Structure 1
Amino acid sequence: MSVKNTTIGRRQFLGQSAAAAAAFSIVRARAVAGTAANSKIEIGIVGTGRRANWISRLFNDHGGYQIVSLADVFADQLKSGQENLRVDPKRCYLGLESYKELVASNLDAVVIESPPYCHPEQSMAAVEAGKHVFLAKPVATDVPGCRTILAAGEKAKGKLSFLVDFQTRAMPLFQEAAKRVSDGEIGRSICGHVNYDADMLPISADPKNPTKETRLRNWLFDVGLSGDIIVEQNVHVLDVANWLLQSHPVKAWGDGGQKSRKGLGDTWDHYVVAYTYPNDILVSFYSTQFIKSRGELHTRIYGDKGTVFTNYTGIVHIEGEQPWPGGKESDTFAQGARNNIKAFAESLHSGEYLNNAEVSTISTLTGVLGRTAAYKGRVVTWDEMMTENAKLESRVEECL
């Protein structure tokens, strides 16, 4: 497929999403820009699970935020979050639609740390209510959800910050590597290799003694709620590949399955995907989520003058005709989030709003393309995926 065809498909996608955004109204944001430098940004957090507890500490450590509201579907998690973060119980909302009460309340920004299936609806609700959005990746689980996110991002432009928390894009070494590749220091990109090796993720509820809530508590292992590992987790390295190549795949073929952790949800525990980018740049991708050895997150792009190597927890550098020693990123996960939290606060105070909804949506769709090709067991093009517009069913209401 040519670059021209891919561009048309992307423009159609962006145009349709912009049209959808125009159908929504937006409440004016509370005035944060122009306030005193030491004023606190009041935030509400949707989702009070493991990751939310972790990132809430980073918001508190920053010193420029005050967590004033929480929302969750589980009473025990909500109570734990309320007690740990010392939030007024009257501003803690319970239930599937509790986020609606949170976004309608008196606060500046909404931090969304719920399962990915919920992200589109909750993000749009926050934007419509005039709230800035700090969103966990991936932005969605399927094409319709991605369209909603892009529409929300379009609606927010110039009025609100809409920041998706991709940590690598906030790290100086990754930024410098991407700049050097863009400047031509590896020459013409020929092919690439991307991998995400990981061990088992934590289990929140015993699958051997299931209750009605088990699937939702173990959403990481549920395709309808998480989008599968290639979307929910592997999007980190796929995003770096798109960033370095300044594009997205035009087609993919893949395979995989669940062999190691049978009996725990329906997500796969390994993927192998061959992506084709514009100009016939081939990128091999594989991932695991079961290994008992050290995990690695690599993206490598091979050019005719050099190779760029990136490692989520290791050396980022370039070898070739114009070598660059780079350096080691030892704490991308936490430091990248800290950098994003800092940038988010600065944008709210300055009025120079951040918005990475588009690139984050494209990276999420890259994972969706690989999943779709692997599930179908054949080559699937980007345009076919977008036209099919397949929606995953969460059946979340069955879990409560």
Structure 2
Amino acid sequence: PLKATATGGRQGRPADGDAYGNYNVLFHYPDGADVTYSSTQFAKGWWDVTERFFGTKGTSQSPYTGPLGIWGEEPWQAEGTPAKDTGQISFSATGKFTSNLEFADREKKKAFVESIASGNFHNQADKGAESALSCMMARTAAYSGREVTWEETLKSRDTWDAKIDLNKLR
């Protein structure tokens, strides 16, 4: 992204700590493409992780559980996609992920092993770095209450100490 504007807050979070419990971010990309992001950590009785993209020709959705596909001019539905909303009910009752996430993990493992066996390695370190930096840019925009650019993020000397004692993880 070229830049981001964001809001957020601690509503619904425990009194200790200073992490936000909700974010709303608008990422601006080249050629006028914008992407919105919303998250919350305090919705009691509801749980969901999904990505939805809305475009002039249709909408795509890729949730952990539930209908996976593209709806619009060129529709596509993933094989074995469950009926709408069954995944949420199942997760709420059992705490076990099903459907799309289960399928994705299996396919990612298969692709990873195939990439090693074939010598055609999947090096996505750049995508991981871009993702992490995008999150940092969004967090900075929300915490500061102002627009933050990609260049500003790359030049930043800010440090964030999570105060985690890594020795306790041994």
Question: Is the pair's TM-score, using the shorter chain for normalization, greater than 0.5?
Answer: yes
- Deviation at 1:371? 0.6
Shift in Å, 1:365: 1.7
Query: Over residues 82-113 of structure 1, what are the superposed CA-to-partner deviations in whole Å (9 max), with x where a residue is unaligned?
Result: xxxxxxxxxxxxxxxxxxxxxxxxxxxxxxxx
Letter in 1 for 2:4: A
Hey, what does 1:37 align to over in structure 2? Answer: none
Task: Show the 5 A alignment for 1:276-287.
Answer: 276-287=28-39
Q: How many residues align?
A: 152
Q: Which has the higher helix share?
A: 1
- Counterparts of residues 221-370 of structure 1 (less than 5 Å): 249-327=1-79, 328=81, 330-370=98-138
Question: 1:393: how far off?
Answer: 2.3
Tell me the equivalent position of 2:155: 387
Q: 1:357 to 1:309 in 2, by over 3 A?
A: same
**Equivalence for 1:46:** none
Structure 1 pair 311–266 and aligned structure 2 pair: CA distance change class (3 A): same
What is residue 49 of structure 1 aligned with on the other side? none
Match of 1:11 in 2: none
DSSP 3-state at the match of 2:24: strand
Q: Matched residues in 1 for 2:56 and 2:106: separation?
A: 36
| 1:56-205 superposed matches below 5 A | none
SS at match of 1:298: coil
For residues 113 and 76 of structure 2, what CA distance do their matches in structure 1 show? 32
Q: 1:264: how far off?
A: 4.3
| Gap change, CA 1:307 and 1:255, over 3 Å in 2 | same
Q: TM-score, normalised by structure 1?
A: 0.34
Identity %: 36
Name stretches of at least 5 consecutive residues in structure 1 with no aligned partner.
1-248
Q: CA deviation at 1:369?
A: 1.4
Q: Is the 8 A contact 2:8 2:22 kept in 1?
A: yes
Q: What is the CA–CA distance in structure 2 between the aligned matches of 1:326 and 1:339, rounded to whole Å?
A: 13
5+ unaligned residues in a row in structure 2: which ranges?
Answer: 83-97
Q: Deviations over 1:323-372 (max 9, x none)?
A: 33445274333443333333333444443332111112212222111111
How far the C-alpha of 1:287 sits from its partner, in A, is 0.5
Instruction: Give 1:257 shift.
Output: 1.7
Partner of 1:79: none
Q: Residue by residue, what CA displacement relative to the aligned partner does 1:23-79 show, whole Å, maximum 9, x if unpaired?
A: xxxxxxxxxxxxxxxxxxxxxxxxxxxxxxxxxxxxxxxxxxxxxxxxxxxxxxxxx
Change beyond 3 A, Cα 1:349–1:325 = closer
In 2, the alpha carbon distance for the partners of 1:284 and 1:357 equals 24
| Matches of 2:109 and 2:38, distance apart in 1 | 30
Q: Hey, what's the Cα distance between the residues in 1 that align with 2:166 and 2:103?
A: 37
* Residues 317, 350 of structure 1: alpha-carbon distance in 2 compared, 3 angstrom cutoff: closer
